[in-house]
Structure 1
Amino acid sequence: MNKKMKIILPLLITVFFVAGIWLGNLLDFQDNSLYSSSSKRQKLNRLINFIDKEYVDEVNTDSIVDITVTSILENLDPHSAYISRQEFDYVQDNMRGDFVGIGINFYTIKDTIAVIRTLEKGPGEKAGLEAGDRILYADAVPLFGNNMSNDSIIELLKGPENSKVKLKVKRFGVNDLLDFEINRGTVPLKSVDAGYMVNDTLGYIKINRFAESTYSEFKAKMKQFATPKMKSIILDLRNNGGGFLKQATLILDEFIADGKLLLFTKNKSGDLRKTYATEYGIYEDQNLYVFIDEKSASASEIVAGAIQDNDRGTIIGRRSFGKGLVQREMNLGDGSAVRLTVARYYTPTGRSIQRPYENGNSEAYYSRYMERYTNGELLSKDSITTDDSLRYKTPEGKIVYGGGGIIPDVFVPRSASQDIQDIKFMYEGGVMDRFIFNLLDEDRIYYNSLSQNDFLERRLITEEVLDKFTRYLGDYNMYYNFGSSSYVLKKYLKATMARQLFGSDLAEKISNENGAFITALLNSNLGRSDLPASLKTKTSEENPATD
């Protein structure tokens, strides 16, 4: 704590006493009894004005208010949260599912902006920018050689919708600089990562979060890849932290028959709000398999719980996170906002998926979650503790439990190999991306000339590439001898290359090859008719499942 904060700490105590009244006023609650006294409403403003005018040192009173609001919410529950003005735009973009810009991912390489890839259907892709292009100027402003921060670069490339930005670009194999005039536009932030046919009858779709655009993305992706022969669907919700409930229920409605209960919520007054399936579901007759893991939370758990409780499909994976609290976002009038817990979610059988918490103690709450990584729960279903008092039964007699997350029907252990866990972390966390970008940069003309079939058939990740990657990690003080796990490393390096060259559909298809989740589906006897022989033969002692 710095010196100024020590000085103003006594003032914060006073602020805490009156902040609840002030917060109620800003949130515009309908119950006027919360702030019926004019003098109470004015206390905080008077205090802040007094500090501004008279305090002996300069004090950022905005930060006092931010600290006050954050402290109040932290003492309610682990998921009520304050969103500052600085964070709000990013959060809104992420949940809205789009932003305004030119639509590229980039690295700064040797003080120059290098395009990793253009975003699908974004202005950059439409204008003809390509992976590997170096952007040297934006509206005559040089973007190289001046240690410009990523934030400053983004500010130059973003702007009002339909405004123009002129770029000068260096491209491999082209002597002269290329000129681009790009109309900034709405760039989608995809929440549906991938969709493809595993074989003639089994489809796969992966959703990374539930944003405002997720349902429309889901419909478009299913229309793009699904065939009339498809009789089974894998809905992959691994690592999906949730989002908008409405988007989750719209997708649920595609799978569950008319009139079935999807979920209900209950507020502190005991008021119930029930959501039912409608008659519009397209995929109600397909076999359904839902993948979840310990990072699947909130709306993801609502989807898995509704499918499980309605005996509609099979849940495969590991116990989900355990977040069953409903948040409502409220603007505080200065560009910041709060997300306040206003109700609890319940699955159709009546179970709560919220893990226990005491008085908003976030540290203990998340510490208990992290114990899963050491207590054996991620390696064995028998290590998952259940409470018989929270035992429920589905219409077909299956036993399910409340009290913290969705327990899958078919358990998939996390890999016990630390090397494999590290490799997956490198893939999912982006550690491989920069290395693969540099590798592609060595011969862009060759790699850009590959068709998708050429890419799949050619042995592009050689032992030499593995050695380069190991040395690359060593440059960052990460030392590995992958040994028997090298076949996993090859798979994820190729998936990373596929993502940069061809997009996420092919990357996801490669990363799922010989995967433990699909293998568990096969071994459960539930999906044998849906899986191609090639998957059966790949699952061997030499190349075991890798998820």
Structure 2
Amino acid sequence: MKKYQKIYTPLLLSIACALGILLGAHLNYGVSDQLFSSNPKKQKLNRLIDYIDYEYVDEVNTDSIVDVTVNKILENLDPHSVYIPKEEYASVSENMKGDFVGIGVSFYKVNDTIVVIRPLEGGPSENIGIKGGDRILYANGEKLFNRDISDDSLTNQLKGKENSRVTLKVLRKGIQDLLTFKVKRGKVPLKSVDASYMLTPSLGYIKINRFAETTFSEFQKAIKNLKNQGAKQIALDLRDNPGGYLSEAINIADEFISDDKLILFTKNKSGSIEKTFAEREGEFENGKVYVLINENSASASEVVAGALQDNDVGTIVGRRSYGKGLVQREMGLGDGSAVRLTIARYYTPTGRSIQKPYDNGNDAYFKDYMRRYKNGELNSQDSIHVNDSLRYTTPGGKVVYGGGGIIPDIFVPKNTDAEKEKLIFLLRGGYMSRFVFDILEKDRSRYNDMSLEEFENKVEVSNEMLKDFSTYLKRMGDVRINLSQKQHEPLLKKYLKAEMIHQLFGTNAFERYLNTDDRIIDKVIELSEQKS
């Protein structure tokens, strides 16, 4: 695509406006085709594309020209109107759907062999006893090892129609003969609730990583389970949650807000306002809630935080959120691709727009984190600049501000230790994953036989493992970090052990282990004990 963009930049610029008309003609937006049927600009564009296809001296991929130009048009609208090419559409949609059909394993290719990292929780493979470290050698008699097959092709071979069956031949360390598993493909959850457990005897914790189709049902199950364990207060962790489906966020906010209270409203280009109210009795309307946010909490996460804050429900804890208050609608373009186009802005119940400015262009917009970091906002609440003309008051008398993100009720500074930030990046970015997998493979049967409690009590990360990890990073080449500082060794050991727990025991155990000594969670526990 970059090749075409370079060669045909003058051409792209000359037809950009015309393509905007064409794009509008294909949007599934309830607009009659008659509006465009006699549009001379559309006819002109069609003629130009035909001339390029049939008369131009060289072969030109006009599909690529159109894709590049559509992206250019959307970039000039706002930062969140985006184009989804048809080759990416399926994976993008699957991520937000909440499940997929398959056997349910995450895997690496090791020496051209599929090796299971772990079976996915709630999937068919977990239910029939496939374990981490198992090597899948055959599927329905077809050889899967020692072949030049991409990860995508292997994934497609393991996926299939729901209730279809696949016979797997599996090699497990310590067992001489191959194991046979007859797997019925089924729906594998892509969970958006990462963790749910009790922080104290009365304080439950729920972490949501995104708002997908199944988020509310996952949340309901989690909160009912926590109530059964005695939870009278809930810590709802929306840190680093980029958003997703607005309807799921509204349903979750409704769990805490009493009937007929406003949750949010949206306003489109014509000024039409659509209001959304709480309309049912929630599971936790009479309980205390703490919402955890940070600079990466965006969109639907901000809807929840803003709705609760403006209704004087609960306490928002952390740092100012991202500031995305634009509503997108997905519209098909007729060839398998789609556009997510901004159609409205959303506002909190007091009338605040959460959207931060984007007048200086997309590049400055997406680098806003660095601006916040440099001006000290992440370390001091006093460094948060507010516009007094965007001052609002909640029914309970609390002063809140619009103009970009949700400012928390209780501010907790970010750790600005650069080396610690790099360690967090290594963990959350997946750089530890393959190294830890190789460590587990050295004694897989031992680790697979351990309970979580046994693992936490008996397994320690050695200094030798730290040296090996440093060597591993140097081999990777693109990761530059100094692991020689002694004060960071305990944290690095903790993160390596956390990743081992992740691969052996899943996300809930991983988050629970990581959350020990978490600043924001410690503050929530302190607040809950003061008001319990």
TM-score (norm. length: structure 2): 0.94
Q: In the alignment, residue 371 of structure 2 is paired with which amino acid?
A: E
One-letter amino acid of the structure 2 residue matched with residue 82 of structure 1: Y
Shift of 1:483: 1.2
Range with bigger deviation, 147-156 or 61-70: 147-156
- Report what 2:326 is aligned to: 325
2:237 paired residue number: 236
* Matched residue, 2:126: 125
Query: For the residues of structure 1 that align with 2:2 and 2:523, how far apart are their CA atoms?
Result: 53
Contact 2:235/2:524 (8 A) holds in 1: no
Structure 2 counterparts to residues 434-449 of structure 1, below 5 A: 434-449=434-449
- Aligned letter for 2:521? I
Aligned equivalent of 1:533: none
- Could you say which residue in structure 2 is the equivalent of 1:504? 507
Partner of 2:142: 141
Separation in 1 of the partners of 2:320 and 2:451?
Answer: 40
Query: Which secondary structure does the structure 1 equivalent of 2:228 belong to?
Result: coil
Contact 1:328 1:339 in 2 (8 A): yes
- In structure 2, what is the equivalent of residue 111 of structure 1? 112
Cα distance in structure 2, aligned partners of 1:14 and 1:454:
67
Aligned partner of 1:262 in structure 2 is 263
Deviation per residue, 1:485-522 (Å, 9 max, x gap)? 22222322222222212111111111001110122224
Cα drift, residue 6 of structure 1: 5.3
Q: Write the mapping of 1:33-48 to structure 2, written as runs, cut at 5 A.
A: 34-35=35-36, 37-48=38-49
Report the residue type matching 2:219 in the other structure: F
Contact 1:103 1:187 in 2 (8 A): yes
Given that residues 375 and 383 in structure 2 are in contact (C-alpha distance below 8 angstroms), is that contact kept between their aligned partners in structure 1? yes
CA distance in 2, matches of 1:197, 1:179: 39
Alignment partner, residue 493 of structure 1: 496
Once structures 1 and 2 are overlaid, which stretch shifts more, 455-464 or 503-512?
455-464
Which residue in 1 is equivalent to 2:27? 27
Alignment of structure 1 residues 450-469 onto 2, 5 Å:
450-469=450-469
C-alpha separation in 2, matches of 1:16 and 1:136:
51
Q: Which residue of 1 aligns with 2:95?
A: 94
Q: In the TM superposition, what whole-angstrom CA distance separates every residue of 1:208-246 from its partner, at most 9, and x where no partner exists?
A: 000011001111222334435211100000110000000
* CA spacing shift, 1:140–1:488, aligned 2, 3 Å: same
Show the counterpart of 1:480: 483
Q: Matches of 1:259 and 1:369 in 2, distance apart?
A: 37
The answer to whether the 8 Å contact 2:312/2:396 transfers is yes
User: 1:39, CA displacement in angstroms?
Assistant: 4.0
Separation in structure 2 between the aligned mates of residue 369 and residue 69 of structure 1, nearest angstrom: 27
CA–CA separation in structure 1 for the residues paired with 2:406 and 2:13: 41
Deviation at 1:149, TM superposition (A): 2.0
Q: How many residues align?
A: 528
CA distance in 1, matches of 2:393, 2:528: 21
* SS of aligned partner of 1:180: strand
Distance apart, 1:144 and its partner CA:
2.6
Map 1:125-204 onto structure 2 (within 5 A): 125-204=126-205
Pairwise CA distance, 1:68: 1.8
2:280 equivalent to 1:313? no
Q: In the TM superposition, what is the alpha-carbon distance from 1:259 to its structure 2 partner? A: 1.3
Contact 2:257 2:313 in 1 (8 A): yes
1:121-171 Cα distance to aligned partner (Å, 9 max, x none): 112222321101112223343333334321222222222323333322111
Matched with 1:398 is 398
Code of the residue aligned with 1:472 in structure 2: it is Y
Matches of 2:308 and 2:113, distance apart in 1: 49
Equivalence for 1:534: none
More displaced, 261-270 or 178-187?
178-187
The answer to whether residue 378 in structure 2 is matched with residue 375 in structure 1 is no
Contact 1:209 1:242 in 2 (8 A): yes
Listed as ranges, the gaps of 5+ residues in structure 2 are: none
Contact 1:21/1:34 (8 A) holds in 2? no
Q: Is the CA contact 2:4–2:64 (under 8 Å) kept in the aligned structure 1?
A: no
Query: d(CA) in 2 for partners of 1:460 and 1:54?
Result: 69
| Percent of paired sites with the same residue | 55
On the 8 A contact 1:197/1:226 being kept in 2, the answer is no
Please tell me the residue identity of whatever aligns with 1:284. E
Decide whether the 8 Å contact of 2:224 with 2:283 is kept in 1: no
Counterpart for residue 293 of structure 1: 294
Instruction: Confirm or deny: 8 A CA contact 2:5 2:65 kept in the other structure.
Output: no
CA distance 1:406–1:34, shift in 2 (3 Å): farther
- Please identify, of 406-415 and 337-346, the stretch whose mean Cα deviation from structure 2 is larger: 406-415
What pairs with 1:336-375 in structure 2 (closer than 5 Å)?
A: 336-358=337-359, 361-375=361-375
CA contact (8 A) 2:262 2:278 kept: yes
Residue in structure 1 matched with residue 57 of structure 2 by the alignment: 56
Output the CA distance in 1 between the equivalents of 2:259 and 2:6.
60
Shift of 1:289: 0.6
Distance across 2 between alignment mates of 1:302 and 1:379: 24
Q: Distance in 1 between matches of 2:496 and 2:16?
A: 52
3-state DSSP of counterpart to 1:45 = helix
Contact 1:24 1:34 in 2 (8 A): no
Cα 1:297/1:244, change in 2 over 3 Å: same
CA change 1:4–1:105 in 2 (3 A) is closer
Could you tell me how far apart the structure 2 residues matched to 1:3 and 1:456 are? Answer: 52
Q: Counterpart amino acid of 1:251?
A: I
Q: Would the aligned equivalents of 2:203 and 2:528 in 1 still touch at CA under 8 Å?
A: no
Deviation of 1:529 after TM superposition, in Å, equals: 6.2
Partner deviation per Cα, 1:347-380 (whole Å, 9 max, x = no partner): 0110000011128x21121133432232221111
More displaced 10-residue stretch of structure 1: 302-311 or 150-159: 150-159
Residues 206 and 236 in structure 2, CA contact (< 8 A), matched pair in contact too: yes
Which letter does structure 2 place at the counterpart of 1:417? D
In structure 2, relative to structure 1, the CA distance for the partners of 1:31 and 1:388 (3 Å cut) is: same
| Counterpart-to-counterpart distance in 1, 2:473 and 2:18 | 53
Q: Which amino acid aligns with 2:428?
A: E
**2: distance between equivalents of 1:134 and 1:468?**
25
Q: Give the aligned partner of residue 388 of structure 2.
A: 388
Asked if 2 retains the 8 angstrom alpha-carbon contact of 1:320 and 1:405, the reply is yes
1:453 is paired with a residue of what secondary structure? helix
Whole-Å separation in 1 of the counterparts to 2:101 and 2:79? 32
Whole-Å Cα distance in 2 between the matches of residues 515 and 4 of structure 1?
A: 48
Using the TM superposition, give the Cα deviation of residue 45 of structure 1 relative to its aligned residue in structure 2, in angstroms: 2.5
- Deviation at residue 332 of structure 1 after TM alignment: 0.6
1:40-69 Cα deviation digits (max 9, x unpaired): 443333322222111111111111111121
Q: Calculate the aligned-residue CA RMSD, in Å.
A: 2.1
Q: How far apart are 1:482 and its partner, in Å? A: 4.0
Deviations 1:369-415 (A, max 9, x none): 43223222111111111111111111121111110111111111111
Cα drift, residue 459 of structure 1: 4.1
* CA displacement, residues 230-285 of structure 1 (integer Å, 9 cap, x when unaligned): 11100000110000000000011111111111100001111111111123211011
Residues 105 and 3 of structure 1: CA distance in aligned 2, closer, same or farther (over 3 Å): closer
Q: CA contact under 8 A between 1:137 and 1:169: conserved in structure 2?
A: yes
* One-letter amino acid of the counterpart of residue 480, structure 1: L
Q: CA deviation at 1:465?
A: 3.4
Hey, what does 1:514 align to over in structure 2? 517
Q: Structure 1 length as normaliser, TM-score?
A: 0.92
Is the alpha carbon distance of 1:118 and 1:228 closer, same or farther for their aligned partners in structure 2, counting shifts above 3 Å?
A: closer
Q: Select between 507-516 and 95-104 the one with higher mean Cα deviation.
A: 95-104
Counterpart in 1 of 2:424?
424
How far does residue 30 in structure 1 lie from its aligned partner after superposition?
3.7
Residues 20 and 77 from structure 1, CA distance in 2 versus in 1: closer, same or farther, beyond 3 angstroms?
same
